[in-house]
Structure 1
């Protein structure tokens, strides 16, 4: 039996707004092989996720510059040109978010995001201020798919886990939400999301 959904929780990056660190670095490091090496060995996903967990950019940059002093300019460019990594929103996804809110649904957001860049994103994309609230990993010092961040969001917003559905583009985060007790769907585009939400009785 499909549960009655009372709470809809959106991820942000690659669900509501585009994110691609290669966008500015295609200009800064034009050679694709070198650029891929840089992301695999210096400004790595694991390095960046610690800013999502709350580490400051100053500390993050200092750590890498100490290890790779010749790469200082490129290391500092990651934060300096962050705005170019998030060039636009996904209008079709935003329309779903706004439609749910317009219907009076309880919509919140849960995101792995550094605190400062999230505030920058909110100013650039005002629809990020429309939901009832947001849990930002950099604010709480926890990241998806840690069970603790789903628990924190549940407590903060008074959610009933069985009546909650979570939308995320990363399979590991979807599985983490399900393991915690939420319903969750993997985002792969707005058309599929509309279909998935309809399966739970949410037609937008």
Structure 2
């Protein structure tokens, strides 16, 4: 069956997401390396993505690591600086698909509160036909359940969907279900894939 809808991940596909880069600028690379070695910030972020409360999770982690408390709280207080800037070419591709009448969905590991923050700063995140957010669904990629939720919520067959994500394990989990997939590395190769699939012309994919 031909592709009838396109599914976007958000972090590192539509928005840059580089916490290490933020902390390098804030406290320098050596201290950042020590912080991330001692404190599981990415693990706490996954808890937020699973639906745990944002401030309580991050500030609770800070309380457990008083030597790093100020730095840890930045994950909450300065979160939007880590989720920036947008990736302009990817946003243009999303909008080009919408303009062609191709349904566009989000499938993303994101916290409930952080998704609202992101939508406030980046209005294009409100332009999806449907957004499947891990915190709302209480499951995260690459768990099979979150892919099933999208199939059920959209009424799409797996082989109708083209999905792009920057993480190989998330792509693999989708491919196992029969989704068509694209491992995102840069907007230009994603644009070329959309052209190759006949979803956009070369001019539309610029």
TM-score > 0.5, shorter chain as reference: yes
DSSP 3-state at the match of 1:101: helix
Structure 1 partner of 2:98:
101
SS in 1 for 2:13: coil
User: 2:23 maps to which residue?
Assistant: 25
Structure 1 residue 16 corresponds to structure 2 residue 19: no
- CA shift at 1:27, angstroms? 4.0
For residues 24 and 166 of structure 1, do their structure 2 counterparts lie closer, same or farther at Cα, with a shift above 3 Å needed? same
Q: Secondary structure at the match of 2:107?
A: strand
1:12 partner SS? coil
SS at match of 1:105: coil
User: Does residue 117 of structure 2 align to residue 139 of structure 1?
Assistant: no
The SS at the match of 1:73 is helix
Quick one: distance in 1 between partners of 2:100 and 2:139? 31
| Aligned CA-pair RMSD | 1.6
- What is the CA–CA distance in structure 1 between the aligned matches of 2:4 and 2:125, rounded to whole Å? 20
- Who is 1:116 aligned against? 113
Where structure 1 has 5 or more consecutive residues not aligned to the other structure, the ranges are none
Partner-residue secondary structure (3-state), 2:62: helix
Q: Once the 2 structures are TM-superposed, how far is the Cα of residue 183 of structure 1 from its aligned partner?
A: 1.0
Provide the aligned length of Structure 1 versus Structure 2. Answer: 201
The DSSP-based 3-state class of the residue aligned with 2:172 is helix
TM-score, length basis structure 1: 0.92
Residues 5 and 163 in structure 1, CA contact (< 8 A), matched pair in contact too: yes
Q: 1:160 maps to which residue?
A: 157
1:120-199 matches, cutoff 5 A: 120-199=117-196
Distance 1:105 1:14 in 2: 22
Return the alpha-carbon distance in structure 2 between the equivalents of residues 159 and 48 of structure 1: 30
Cα drift, residue 201 of structure 1 = 2.3
TM-score w.r.t. length of structure 2: 0.91
Unaligned runs of 5+ in 2: none
Match for residue 83 of structure 2?
86
- In structure 2, the CA distance between the partners of 1:66 and 1:127, relative to structure 1 (3 Å rule), is closer
